[in-house]
Amino acid sequence: MARSRFAKDDDESDINLTPMLDVVFIMLIFFIVTATFIKQAGIEVRRPDALTDEKKPTVSVLIAISAQGDIWIDKKKVDVTAVRAHIERLHAENPKGGIVIQADREAKYEKLKAVLDASRASGVTEVAISTEE
């Protein structure tokens, strides 16, 4: 008799955690979907100064050109011949965004022109060059 009474108390004292876990998972999914991720090119560059500049609201591709002429996209060093493929892939993920090129003050114009040509060949019309304020 005594055992059945204790077993009955144990069943009534269980807490059902399923609804709480459902809420936690829904909140996690919500935060993952609505989170904005900061895009980084991969290296720090010394951008040139400009008197007239304006902020770009949406950026899908961020490209950095170092003083030595290295091209960086998505924290990876990229060869000049592969820039177009990277631009097309990243622009396909976010077609509403544009391209921002962060060229170092000491970078050669040839590399900047090559990146601009690759962006034009990939069909992206929103291209901007990043400057210091």
Tell me, letter by letter, the H, E, C secondary structure of 73-99.
ECCEEECHHHHHHHHHHHHHHCCCCEE
Same domain, 30 and 67: no
Q: Are 130 and 53 in contact (CB under 8 A)?
A: no
Side by side, the strands of the sheet bearing 59-65 are 76-78, 71-73, 59-65, 98-103, 127-129
The owner of tokens 């060229």 is: 103
Is there a single domain that holds both residue 120 and residue 68?
yes
Full-model pTM: 0.61
Q: Does residue 50 sit within a domain?
A: no
119, part of any domain = yes
The answer on 71 and 27 residing in a single domain is: no
Same domain for 66 and 124: yes
pLDDT at residue 10 in the model = 55
Mean pLDDT by 10 residues, the chain (133 residues): 53 78 92 73 66 66 85 86 88 81 84 88 82 71
| Cα gap 91→109, rounded to integer Å | 24
Domain enclosing residue 121, as ranges: 59-129
pLDDT at 104: 84
Number of domains in the chain: 2
